[in-house]
């Protein structure tokens, strides 16, 4: 079916009609199903987007240009969008950081980096074609530029962590070119650097943009184990350091900083800012608060694979139980036991897997924090049990 450029039924009116029909027993999803027969982009509850463009960025990354419908509310640069895809009859959902496509309302671009063993990332790279539809959700997330905008920002990216940073850079260059922006981008090589040509062009055309591309695996994961390859191990590897930041942005402790990438890069940034804050008793809290982190893959659990902990799950007043190994997140353990919990990104970003921890202890893979159950909320996709636990689903 050809994509319609007009909206025969305004979104607001469609939402009101759906609410009225709900009182007559017509569910919102049934209403969406009817609209999708006319045009899948007209749905107002479960949103769809049509793939209108596809571009290979590197040997392991592909950009998909998506045209969303009028019910899509837009996004702030740096936010994520949950994308849903059905593979072999199973619906999967993952979070990606899109960029707005200038001059095309409700059009966004997501760049998907293949992950080792990644069911969704490999499927999107290999099997999606122009004209197909994907499910999407409204944009969300707080990894966004401050308001009002400061005079200067610092962006640090590793691998596919460039995607939210690129969204910010394009937004600044188009709408706030007087803002000074510095990007430090770690990748194994230029061939592995997503948006390499676009970043070169941006650096050449925007006088306020300082760009440092660093070929290094010290702050990037290069295989499923996170270890550098044998070929890379013999090379001197530059790392993110306070000395590097002092060279590029002498006032970096006073500038809002945004870091997105794999675990080694995130850990390095966190340690640098914590040390800077520790050495400044007067402004220490403000220094730490200026660093914003976004992980595209959580750290892998490093617990004892032979340890076993019982997870008691309460959902709608019904109790179920399953075991979790010491090297499994609660989400993975629930799926292995056939008790799959509701989830979205699997990365600790979207909070759709949030549960309440009533008893026992877990470790948060993103912060390293130990959480002892007293009714706190946890994200089961990044929580590893340290004892028997009792959780309650909030879905």
- Cα(45)–Cα(344) distance, integer angstroms: 17
pLDDT tens, residue order, the chain (395 aa):
333 333 435 777 777 777 777 877 778 788 778 878 888 988 888 899 999 999 999 999 999 999 999 999 999 999 999 999 999 888 888 899 999 999 999 999 999 999 888 899 999 999 999 999 999 999 998 999 999 999 999 999 999 999 999 999 999 999 999 999 999 999 999 999 999 999 999 999 999 999 999 998 877 655 443 444 444 555 568 889 999 999 999 999 999 999 999 888 998 999 999 999 997 878 889 999 999 998 766 667 888 888 999 999 998 889 999 999 999 999 999 988 888 788 877 878 778 899 999 999 999 988 888 999 889 999 999 999 999 999 999 87
Q: Is residue 2 part of a domain?
A: no
| Tokens of residue 109, six digits | 């671009």
Same domain, 224 and 281: yes
Same domain, 105 and 173: no
- Cα(43)–Cα(65) distance, integer angstroms: 19
Q: Is residue 129 part of a domain?
A: yes
Same domain, 203 and 316: no
Do 93 and 342 touch, CB atoms closer than 8 A? no
Do 230 and 202 touch, CB atoms closer than 8 A? no
pLDDT score for 235: 56
Q: Is residue 197 part of a domain?
A: yes
pTM for this predicted structure: 0.81
Same domain, 42 and 92: yes
Same domain, 272 and 326: no
pLDDT score for 8: 39
pLDDT score for 77: 96
- Cα(162)–Cα(45) distance, integer angstroms: 30
Select from 107, 136, 165 the last residue of a domain: 136
Residue 317 belongs to domain with CATH number: 3.10.20.30
Do 240 and 186 touch, CB atoms closer than 8 A? yes
Same domain, 260 and 382: no
Q: Is residue 145 part of a domain?
A: no
Same domain, 269 and 185: yes
Select from 267, 295, 323 the last residue of a domain: 295
Residue 335 domain boundaries:
308-393
Select from 70, 104, 136 the last residue of a domain: 136
Q: Is residue 300 part of a domain?
A: no
Q: Is 360 left (phi over 0), alpha (psi -120 to 50) or beta?
A: left
Q: Is residue 370 part of a domain?
A: yes
pLDDT score for 228: 47
Residue 26 belongs to domain with CATH number: 2.40.30.10
Residue 201 belongs to domain with CATH number: 3.40.50.80
Domains in the chain, number: 3
Q: Is residue 146 part of a domain?
A: no
Residue 70 burial (10 A CB sphere; 0-12, 13-18, 19+): middle
Same domain, 106 and 220: no
Same domain, 161 and 124: no
Same domain, 105 and 130: yes
Instruction: For the chain, give percent helix, strand, coil, nearest 5.
Output: 30, 30, 40
pLDDT score for 361: 95
Same domain, 109 and 27: yes
Q: Is residue 301 part of a domain?
A: no
| Tokens of residue 190, six digits | 């230029």
Cα 178–chain centre separation: 28
Same domain, 216 and 244: yes
């Amino acid at each position: 079916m050809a994509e319609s450029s007009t909206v025969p039924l305004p979104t607001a009116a469609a939402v009101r009609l759906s609410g009225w029909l709900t009182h007559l027993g017509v569910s919102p999803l049934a209403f969406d199903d009817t609209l999708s027969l006319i045009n899948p982009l007209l749905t107002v509850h479960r949103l769809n987007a049509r793939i209108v463009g596809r571009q290979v960025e590197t040997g392991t990354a592909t950009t998909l240009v998506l045209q969303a419908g009028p019910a899509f509310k837009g996004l702030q640069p740096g936010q994520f969008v949950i994308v849903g895809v059905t593979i072999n009859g199973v619906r999967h959902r993952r979070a990606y950081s899109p960029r707005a496509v200038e001059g095309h309302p409700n059009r966004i671009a997501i760049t998907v980096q293949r992950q080792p063993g990644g069911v969704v990332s490999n499927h999107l790279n290999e099997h999606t074609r122009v004209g197909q539809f994907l499910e999407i959700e409204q944009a969300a997330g707080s990894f966004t530029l401050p308001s009002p905008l400061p005079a200067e920002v610092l962006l640090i990216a590793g691998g596919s962590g460039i995607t939210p940073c690129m969204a910010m850079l394009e937004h600044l260059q188009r709408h706030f070119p007087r803002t000074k922006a510095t990007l430090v981008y770690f990748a194994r090589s230029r061939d592995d650097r997503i948006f390499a040509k676009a970043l070169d062009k941006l650096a050449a055309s925007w006088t306020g943009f300082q760009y440092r591309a660093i070929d290094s695996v010290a702050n990037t994961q290069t295989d499923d184990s996170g270890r550098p390859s044998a070929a890379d191990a013999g090379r001197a590897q530059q790392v993110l350091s306070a000395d590097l930041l002092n060279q590029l942005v002498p006032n970096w402790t006073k500038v809002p900083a945004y870091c997105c990438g794999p675990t080694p890069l995130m850990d390095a940034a966190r340690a640098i800012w914590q040390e800077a804050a520790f050495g400044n008793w007067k402004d220490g809290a403000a220094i730490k608060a200026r660093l914003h982190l976004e992980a595209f893959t959580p750290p892998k659990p490093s617990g004892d694979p032979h340890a076993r902990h019982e997870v008691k799950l309460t959902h709608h007043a019904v109790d179920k139980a399953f075991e979790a190994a010491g090297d499994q997140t609660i989400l993975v353990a629930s799926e292995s036991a056939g008790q799959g919990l509701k989830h979205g990104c699997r990365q600790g970003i979207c909070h759709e897997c949030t549960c309440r921890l009533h008893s026992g202890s877990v470790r948060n893979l993103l912060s390293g924090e130990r959480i002892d159950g007293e009714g706190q909320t946890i994200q089961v996709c990044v929580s590893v049990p340290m004892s028997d636990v009792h959780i309650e689903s909030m879905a």
